[in-house]
Structure formats: structure tokens, C-alpha cells
Structure 1
Amino acid sequence: MLQHFSFKPMFENKQLPGWTFSFFYKQARYSGEYLPDGSIKWTGGSHPPEEETVKKMIHELMLFHVYD
């Protein structure tokens, strides 16, 4: 389960798509960019274990918060 998930627009013009996000997973902090095509680019030098499972959780959260 992702904890303390937060996101914000990449650009000041909020009409342009793209968001940065961060969260904790298994007591480690991860961050990345959620791009307009739904792809995820990890920042901060590492990606979480069970990456595909985590990506699914991120997609669900972004759909709920951004595209609602």
C-alpha cells in the first residue's frame, strides 16, 4: 500500500498535463513524473520493488484525483 501519496502539476499553467508525485512504499520514499500518456518516469534514482504493482496503484490514484 502506498502511504502519503501526493501530487502536483508540473507546470504553472494547470491546463498543460503532467504531474509530479511522491509517496512512501515499504518504508522508502519514491518520486516520479506522471506523463500525459499515462507513463511514469521515476526520479530520485530508484524505483520501487514490485514496480508493476505500484504503477497500477499510482494509475488508480491519478484517475481518482485528477480525472474525476
Structure 2
Amino acid sequence: MGNPHAVAVLDEPVGNVKLSRLGPLLERDGRFPEGVNFEIVNVLSRNLIKVRVWERGSGPRRGVWTGRAQRRS
């Protein structure tokens, strides 16, 4: 299956989400028989996002990341 990811884009700040509660439920969800990495995202601007990650088999990744995205033509 590769390395599956599920991403949720939220209006609520990602720092407010109880990822330690939500992550295990999604990782074992029946729609992902081999487990899934789960990211919650806030879009801060056209080129900036804030992300928290639940890694399949490892749990929450430490910290909250911001990142920039650029569309390639």
C-alpha cells in the first residue's frame, strides 16, 4: 500500500486538537487496514500552513510545524 496519509484541513487551531486521542482512532480506522499517518492542518495564507502529525506506528510527532508551499507550473 505504500505510505498512506489522511489530511484534515481545519478552521480550529491545530494546537487545540487532542491529537493523542484522535490519532489512535484514525490510525486504526477500518478504512485504513494497514494503518495511516494523519495530519491536521491550518491554512494560514496562500503559501503558509501549520501542521501537526500522528505517525502510524509511532504516535504524535513532537512540535507543531509551519511550512511554505509553492506551486510548480
Q: Could you tell me the TM-score, scaled by structure 2's length?
A: 0.29
Q: Could you tell me the TM-score, scaled by structure 1's length?
A: 0.30
Q: Which has the higher contact order (CA 8 A, sep 6+)?
A: 2
